[in-house]
């Protein structure tokens, strides 16, 4: 499994409905793209990508398309990694408290 992320993509304001539909279909054809969902909200579409080396490279590739206004990256992280990090911080704080008390 490679690196995974959700890309939040905004289309330029002058993109017409037919062009937007074609853009969605073209993105779905990219090998790194798992799915594309048009959405309503702070972005125009959510794109799930998986890259062997860099999701940033995929983001730059998509951002360079003529119809794209901007792209934001939400990297997917393991819940276990977050847990381990917070656990280490907790243990460090507890050790510090023990040192202060002794």
How far apart CA 36 and CA 29 sit, in angstroms, is: 10
Number of domains comprising the chain: 1
**Would you give the DSSP letter of residue 84?**
H
How far apart CA 93 and CA 84 sit, in angstroms, is: 14
Which tokens belong to 26?
């073209």
The percent helix, strand, coil of the chain (3-state, each to 5) is 45, 30, 25
In a domain, residue 101? The reply is no
The pLDDT score that the predictor gives to residue 53 is: 85
In a domain, residue 28? The reply is yes
CATH number of 25's domain: 3.30.70.920
* Secondary structure class of 30 (helix, strand, coil): coil
Tens digit of each residue's pLDDT, the chain (102 residues): 468 999 999 999 999 999 999 999 999 999 999 999 999 999 999 999 999 888 999 999 999 999 999 999 999 887 766 666 666 766 676 676 666 665
The pLDDT score that the predictor gives to residue 20 is: 96
The pLDDT score that the predictor gives to residue 44 is: 97
């Amino acid at each position: 499994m490679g690196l995974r992320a959700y890309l939040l993509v905004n289309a330029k304001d002058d993109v017409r409905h037919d062009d937007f539909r074609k853009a969605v279909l073209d993105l779905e054809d990219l090998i790194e793209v798992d799915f594309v969902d048009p959405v309503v909200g702070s972005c125009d579409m959510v794109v799930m990508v998986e890259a062997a080396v860099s999701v940033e490279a995929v983001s730059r590739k998509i951002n360079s398309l003529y119809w794209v206004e901007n792209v934001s990256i939400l990297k997917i992280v393991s819940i276990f990694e977050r847990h381990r990090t917070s656990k280490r911080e907790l243990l460090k704080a507890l050790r510090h408290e023990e040192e202060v008390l002794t």
